[in-house]
Structure 1
Amino acid sequence: MLEISKLSIRFNRLDRRLRQVHTETIHNLHLSVAAYEILAVVGSSGSGKSLLAHAILGILPNNAQVSGTIQFKGEELTPDRQRRIRGKEIALIPQSVQYLDPLIRVGEQVEQSVRQGDPVALRRKAFNKYNLADYVAKWFPFQLSGGMARKILVSTATVSGARLFIADEPTPGLDTFAMTETLNRFRQLAEDGCAMMLITHDIEAALTVADRIAVLYAGTVVEIAQRSDFTENGERLRHPYTKALWKALPGQQFVAIPGSQPLPDALPKGCVFAPRCSSATIECEESSPEPRTLRNGEVRCLHAT
């Protein structure tokens, strides 16, 4: 459904001396999502998760330069095609509730996203699924709680009839029941033949529904693993960063990762994780590894076995 190859995103800006500065925030990123699949994209803040979503949808700011290829259903996603199918064949479930129009009642906003069928009936069906009372349709966004607003955003995307969904941090602010319902809805969409990209920092939530996990670090994918690889002490995982993330979870060893993720304008010459990796060698510091297939997954590490 979606195939991304060698994606790089660079931003141009002026520094204090009015000189052009170029900052590459995503570099040489490879990713794919198939129909009937949920791919979770996980990583810390600043790793490039939301930028990836905006690049697919073609909603990056004007000072962004994009290279590489993004294909949807086997055809390249050109800027013109992105405009034509955005919100129709590809739908975003955004991170911020500010995506809701403050001047339009929320029921009308959901109904406007319906492409086929009775808008009112489909909106009511979505509201019922997420335990939203029908009278909420007459409310404006400022009258919603944070959790209710996120349910509206999810409803708006799911009634559109899209085939690819990009959910950007859709669960913060939801109670446990609502989060489970939302994730189960994503699972239902995948089982109906849709493709789902779930962008989140919550690995444990992702593992309840995702088929594969793509791990982002400093603007690139360092590993793509099967859900079943996240087990016990993480010995099935391939990349040192993924293993460290797994061990840092409260339900695991709760061990902090030393150091911090590098800023986009201060990336190391070689492997982006080398400065924090206890297994790094001189070779890691000098050359950036390319992604390779390993044990039914993908990894960007010179020494992964």
Structure 2
Amino acid sequence: MEEKPAVAHEAVDHGAQPVHHHHSHAATSRHGHGHHLLTVEDLSVSFLMYDEEAAAMRAQGDSRADRGRLGRYLHAPQREVEVIRSLSLSVHEGEIVAVVGASGSGKTLLADAVLGLFEPNALVRGRIWFDGRPMDAAALAAERGRGIALVPQSVASLDPLMRVGRQVEGMPRGRGAARRADAGRRRARRRELFARYGLAEEVARLYPHELSGGMARRVLLCCALMDAPKLIIADEPTPGLDLPLAQAALADFRAFADDGGGVMLITHDIELALTVADRVAVFRDGTVVEETSVAAFASPDTLAHPFTRQLWHALPEHGFVVTTEGSPLC
């Protein structure tokens, strides 16, 4: 992927040219070292599935009595089911990009692709760059938990049988003195994170079931930040939280972005996302139909896609008006 020289690119006025490089920019978008923090281009994810209808037809036409149900699937033809298609988006340093779409639309599958997590029957096509480098599945896996960290959507991701301090610190590396030194470094880092996010030192000895919902969310964030990532993928981080806690959780991501990191915030709560994000990628039918700045949501006239305009009309402050341009987000 060719990158323009840093000086020339930084000279671009993103306020005057909100769309270039095949995607949108906010007025504050910046390209550290002359490239995007994350670029996803033309991503498609499909799965090889057994064609049950064809299998049933084949079984009906087979007169051998011993073929049975197992044989129906062993000899069934397979078909490719595409879940994500031709998806492109980007994340810049210092910004939050909200990927907004209906529940079950495949947003988590996008997160898995960026993290290099693929099911054995997955077919993945497209191109991903992270911090200016082209990535394959192995390279993405190597960045997982380090350069790219995940804040999962469920606090059930925490090990119920392990104290949360140990979970945040993780396993020290090396042997002997080097291992002890790394354990000390990780303990100090965990204490720093706990202090930053208002978690008392005593919390380190608690088990997940002893935490409140807000505490558990902050523990998940500390796990993600442990190895100082450049990019956080937050997958539905606010369900189950009341509004003050949800706003506090998003404020933590805002602080991370303001410090120079990037955040991909995956959510179906567009109203909440608009309070913290810099740009919005509207996800529908397995792809991004529009990627635009939050400022564009000031009016439906500045939104390009009919479905995005329909989302604007469906917001509470706009009267929950349902138009004929698309289906509402749910």
By how many angstroms is 1:81 displaced?
Answer: 0.9
Which residue number corresponds to residue 161 of structure 2? Answer: 103
Which residue number corresponds to residue 63 of structure 1? Answer: 121
Which residue number corresponds to residue 50 of structure 2? Answer: 14
Which residue number corresponds to residue 38 of structure 2? Answer: 2
By how many angstroms is 1:209 displaced?
Answer: 1.5
Which residue number corresponds to residue 32 of structure 1? Answer: 90
Task: Summarize the Cα distance change of 1:149–1:113 in structure 2 as closer, same or farther, 3 Å threshold.
Answer: farther
For 1:165, what is the secondary structure of its paired residue?
strand
Equivalent-residue separation in structure 2 for 1:70 and 1:235 (angstroms): 32
For 1:230, what is the secondary structure of its paired residue?
helix
1:174-217 CA deviation, whole Å, 9 max, x = no partner? Answer: 23333222222212211221111111111121111211100000
Mapped pair 1:217 → 2:275: no
1:132-162 CA deviation, whole Å, 9 max, x = no partner? Answer: 3332221222333433322211121123200
1:215 touches 1:224 (CA, 8 Å); kept in 2?
A: yes
By how many angstroms is 1:257 displaced?
Answer: 5.8
1:247-266 equivalence runs, <5 A: 247-256=313-322
Mapped pair 1:185 → 2:252: yes
Mapped pair 1:235 → 2:271: no
The aligned amino acid for 1:155 is C
Where structure 2 has 5 or more consecutive residues not aligned to the other structure, the ranges are 1-36, 56-75, 174-181
1:95-174 equivalence runs, <5 A: 95-112=153-170, 118-174=185-241
The aligned amino acid for 2:248 is E
Equivalent-residue separation in structure 2 for 1:104 and 1:222 (angstroms): 42
Mapped pair 1:245 → 2:311: yes
Equivalent-residue separation in structure 2 for 1:119 and 1:252 (angstroms): 48
For 2:295, what is the secondary structure of its paired residue?
helix
Higher deviation after alignment, 193-202 or 15-24: 15-24
Which residue number corresponds to residue 87 of structure 1? Answer: 145
1:39 touches 1:210 (CA, 8 Å); kept in 2?
A: yes
By how many angstroms is 1:123 displaced?
Answer: 2.2
1:92 touches 1:168 (CA, 8 Å); kept in 2?
A: yes
By how many angstroms is 1:251 displaced?
Answer: 2.1
**Identity across the alignment (%):** 49
Task: Summarize the Cα distance change of 1:31–1:114 in structure 2 as closer, same or farther, 3 Å threshold.
Answer: farther
Question: Rg bigger for which structure?
Answer: 2
By how many angstroms is 1:77 displaced?
Answer: 1.6
Equivalent-residue separation in structure 2 for 1:190 and 1:22 (angstroms): 38
Which residue number corresponds to residue 289 of structure 1? Answer: none
The aligned amino acid for 1:58 is G
The aligned amino acid for 2:92 is A
- What is the RMSD of the two structures over their aligned residues, measured on CA atoms? 2.2
Mapped pair 1:43 → 2:101: yes
2:117 touches 2:141 (CA, 8 Å); kept in 1?
A: no
Equivalent-residue separation in structure 2 for 1:113 and 1:54 (angstroms): 23
Higher deviation after alignment, 73-82 or 172-181: 172-181
Q: Normalised by the size of structure 2, how large is the TM-score? A: 0.73
Equivalent-residue separation in structure 1 for 2:122 and 2:293 (angstroms): 32
